[in-house]
Structure 1
Amino acid sequence: MVEQYFSAEPASEDVRRTLTVTLQGREATVETSNGVFSGSRLDLGTSVLLREVPEPPESGTFLDLGCGWGPVALSLAFAAPDADVWAVDVNTRALELTAANAKRNGCANVHAAQTDESGAPLPEQSAASCETLPGDAQFDLIWSNPPIRIGKEALHTLLMTWLPRLKPNGGTAYLVVQKNLGADSLIPWLANELGDGYEVSKYHSAKGYRVIEVVRNK
C-alpha cells in the first residue's frame, strides 16, 4: 500500500530530491522527499491556486493550510516579506522540508507548526524546525490546497478548525479543490456551516479545479 502523505510520521524512506520551481515569478531551489504531498513536482492544483489568487496584502498574518514541502508558504513569503506566514501540516517530514526550504530561499518570515491528526494546532512542538502557533492566532489570509483524500468527514473537521480563524471584517481564504472531488458541493456546505458572517463563492475555474473564496465579514 502506498503511504498517504497525511501520515504524521512517514514510514517511507526519506529520499531527498532537489527541484527548481518558479513561485511568484521567482526561481526557487527546494528539497522534496517521499511521504509528502506531491513530492516530485509542483502539484497542478497548487499551480492553479498560485496563478489565480489575487496578490496578498503587503503585511499581515497568513496561513498555508496543509503545507507539504512549502510551495504556498514560500509564495506568500516572496509576495509579502513583511507578513508572518504560518505553514501547518500533520506530517513532520513536510514541516522539516518547509522550514528548510524557507531558510534556503531567504524567507525568515515563514513559521512551520505541526497539527494533530484532526488538524488542530499542537500546544507544544516536538520538532526543532517547528514553532508553536499562538492559540488565539487569527489570519488575514489563508491559501490552501487542502488534503481532500483524507475523507469528507476529516476534511470538514479540518476546514472548520481553521476557517473560523479568519479575522473579522475581511479575512479571506482561497481553497483549490478538484471539481470531480467535490468542489461544487463543498461551496454550499461551507456557506451553511460558517453561517451569515461569511461569504463563500467560486472565485475561478481552471484545468478541472475550482478556486473557492471564503470571506469573513464580521
Structure 2
Amino acid sequence: MSTEDEHYFSADPSVAFTRKPVEAEVWGHRLSLVSGSGVFAQGRVDVGTAVLFRETRPPAGGRVLDLGCGYGVIGLAVAVAAETAVVTGVDVNERALLLANENAASLGVADRYTALTPDAVAPDAVFDEIWSNPPIRIGKPALHELLLTWLPRLAPGGRAVMVVGKNLGADSLQRWLGEQGHPTTRLASAKGFRILETRA
C-alpha cells in the first residue's frame, strides 16, 4: 500500500487538511461541493465518476447506498436529482465523511443524506440501489470482501451500479460477481471504464 493510500485510510492527521472547491454538472443539476486533501479525487470529479454520471440516469428514489462515498459526489448527485431518495454514504475515511456531510448541508439535502463509517450503518439496513466508484486500489481480497458485505443488503429487485476501470479488472470483476451469485451485466463502456449493473 502506498503512503498516499495509508494516509487515505488513516486520514493521517499529520497531513494538513485543506479544502478545495469542486463544481460539477450532473444530470442537469449544478453541484457546488468541497473536497479536501487526503480524500480521493480532491479538487475534481474523477474520470470514472464522470463516466458513471454521463452513462446513467439517476434512480427514481428509494433507499440508496453511496459505497466508498469520498466527499459525497455520487450520493449527493442522487439526493439532488431524486427528491424522494434517502441516501447513506459509507467510507472509512473520517475526513471524507466530514466533507460529505458538510456538502449535504450546503446543498440542502442533509435531511436525506448521511455519511457514516461502515460500523455506524444499522445492521438491518437494506437498500434499493447501491451506487459506487469502488476503491479498486485497496486490492482484490479487500474489494471482494467489501462487495460481499454490501451487495447482500440490496432489497429484492434492487440493483448496484458501479464504475470500474477496464485496466483495473472490470471484466474479471463482472465474471467473479456472477460466480458469487450476483448476476452482473455491462450497461456501458467509455473512456476505458465499464459501468456494471448487479441485480439482487
Could you say which TM-score interval applies, normalised by the shorter chain? over 0.9
What's 2:65 paired with?
63
Deviations 1:119-155 (A, max 9, x none): xx21xxxxxxxxx422111110111000000001000
Question: Secondary structure of the equivalent of 2:122?
Answer: coil
What's 1:129 paired with?
none
What's 1:139 paired with?
127
- Whether 1:213 and 2:200 are equivalent positions in the alignment is no
What's 2:22 paired with?
19
Aligned-partner residue type, residue 29 of structure 2: R
- Whether 1:99 and 2:101 are equivalent positions in the alignment is yes
What's 2:136 paired with?
148
Residue pairs, 1:42-81, within 5 angstroms: 42-57=45-60, 59-81=61-83
What's 2:4 paired with?
3
Deviations 1:23-58 (A, max 9, x none): 22222211111111001210010011112123312x
Deviates further, 199-208 or 11-20: 11-20
- Distance across 2 between alignment mates of 1:61 and 1:186: 25
Give the length in aligned residue pairs: 196
What's 1:125 paired with?
none
- Whether 1:181 and 2:183 are equivalent positions in the alignment is no
Aligned-partner residue type, residue 194 of structure 2: R
Question: Secondary structure of the equivalent of 2:24?
Answer: strand
Structure 2: where are the runs of 5+ without partners?
Answer: none
- Distance across 2 between alignment mates of 1:60 and 1:183: 27
- Distance across 1 between alignment mates of 2:161 and 2:41: 19
- Distance across 1 between alignment mates of 2:169 and 2:51: 17
- Distance across 1 between alignment mates of 2:65 and 2:167: 26
What's 1:83 paired with?
85
What's 1:164 paired with?
152
Deviates further, 91-100 or 46-55: 46-55
Deviations 1:153-181 (A, max 9, x none): 0000001110111111x101111000001
- Distance across 2 between alignment mates of 1:8 and 1:107: 28
Question: Secondary structure of the equivalent of 1:3?
Answer: helix
Contact 1:24 1:78 in 2 (8 A): no
Contact 1:99 1:110 in 2 (8 A): yes
- The runs of at least 4 aligned residues of structure 1 exceeding 6 Å deviation read none
- Distance across 2 between alignment mates of 1:149 and 1:133: 23
Contact 1:23 1:71 in 2 (8 A): no
Aligned-partner residue type, residue 192 of structure 2: G
Aligned-partner residue type, residue 92 of structure 1: E
Larger proportion of strand: 2
What's 1:29 paired with?
32
Deviation at 1:2, TM superposition (A): 4.3
Contact 2:29 2:81 in 1 (8 A): no
Deviates further, 177-186 or 105-114: 105-114
